[in-house]
Amino acid sequence: MSKLSIATQFLRFIPLKNSLKKHVLFFQTLEKVAEKLTADIPEIQQLRLNPDLTLLVCVVVEEIVPTKSEIDKKLLVVQILDKIFTLTEDEKAVVESQIQHSYDEGAIRAVAKWKHTLYKIGKYAIRFFFA
């Protein structure tokens, strides 16, 4: 086993702190959300600059990123859409205005915890009674 692989295994047990934790959380979220969107939405390239897609990404980021993390969620949403579509600077400005418009309307908010709980109970009941 090489020294590099031993060091990599050892790094899993070291807790990340401060700006390093923020940096890792930002880019892990970026990768996971972009990958999930491209895998789950067929023909996603046709949805370039679609306000509904921008709102979806905003709600997902609002749900995933903790409020205490100090991550710029607006920048994260722009980076996710840039990773999927390779946006120009003008398109990034349009996306930022879509985000601001959705925020001003109050459309961007995390899903209530009771809805998560109800969904999990429903999934369990379906498995319990029909499996």
Flag whether pLDDT at 127 surpasses 80: yes
Terminal CA-CA length for the chain: 45
Question: pLDDT for 44-84, tens place per residue?
Answer: 999 999 999 999 999 999 988 888 888 899 999 999 999 99
Residue type, 99: I
5-19, 36-50, 54-68: which range is least confident on average?
Answer: 5-19
Cβ-contact 116, 67 below 8 angstroms: no
pLDDT score at 55: 94
Whole-prediction pTM value?
0.77
Comparing 49 with 13, the larger pLDDT belongs to: 49
* Residue whose C-alpha is closest to residue 81's, from 111, 38, 43: 38
Q: Whole-angstrom Cα distance, residue 63 to residue 106?
A: 15
* Residue whose C-alpha is closest to residue 109's, from 73, 78, 76: 73
Comparing 1 with 107, the larger pLDDT belongs to: 107
Flag whether pLDDT at 1 surpasses 60: no
